[in-house]
Amino acid sequence: MSIGVVTVAYGAKCRAFLPRWVEAINSLAVEPDEVTVVTDDLIDATMKTADVNSLVRVIKAEGTHTHHPQVYANQAVEVTSTEWICKMDVDDIIYPHAFDRLGDADCDVWMFGIRYCNQSLYAPAVTAEHIMTSPHNLVFSGSPYRRWLHDEATYRDMIYEDWMFWIDCAAQGARFCHSNTIDYEYVMHDDNISTRADDAYWQSEVRRLRDQHRHPNP
């Protein structure tokens, strides 16, 4: 088994989280084989990571984004050759045990549980059909997935890009299983993009795109 961890550090406020993010990656009991950071400032991001972990590869974000810089995560995945990919957002904190049982996972998406607003939220037992029919996102964003899924299910330039990604994975027939543990902390702060987005519009957009999978035009 090989594991790649990727993240996007776009903008000074996001890059400020990098030292803490890399320290959490360093604390993993099962070490990743590759770690890639996509950034808009190579010098700043390299300075914030080089003294902490020499494993980290820093690459420059190419092109522009319209809605969400998380679309640049595609670049990190594209240069990562591992069997598993974990997109752990730069402001979130992965826990040391997160990958301990990943090698036993008989599925394509290993659904993490999270700590969120002082609550422990365990991943539910779901199937691809649940993902394709639920009005809500059922998979937490940092959950590891097999690299082959990204060949078709790339991150889209939109808010709730992670929710849409899981739908695209489900449309490929991905198998989902849950960890039964709390594996990372979803950190709330003033600059969370979800707090500044038109929530109703983007949820509606995700459901519209999901329905295109379910009922493609003839």
Give the pLDDT band of residue 209 (cuts 50, 70, 90): confident
The pLDDT of residue 192 is above 70? no
Q: Coil, strand or helix: which one is 89?
A: coil
The pLDDT of residue 140 is above 90? yes
User: Domains in the chain and their CATH numbers?
Assistant: 3-214 (3.90.550.10)
pTM for this prediction: 0.91
Query: How far is residue 52's CA from residue 23's CA, in Å, rounded to a whole number?
Result: 7
Q: What is the distance, to the nearest Å, from the Cα of residue 49 to the centroid of all Cα atoms in its chain?
A: 19
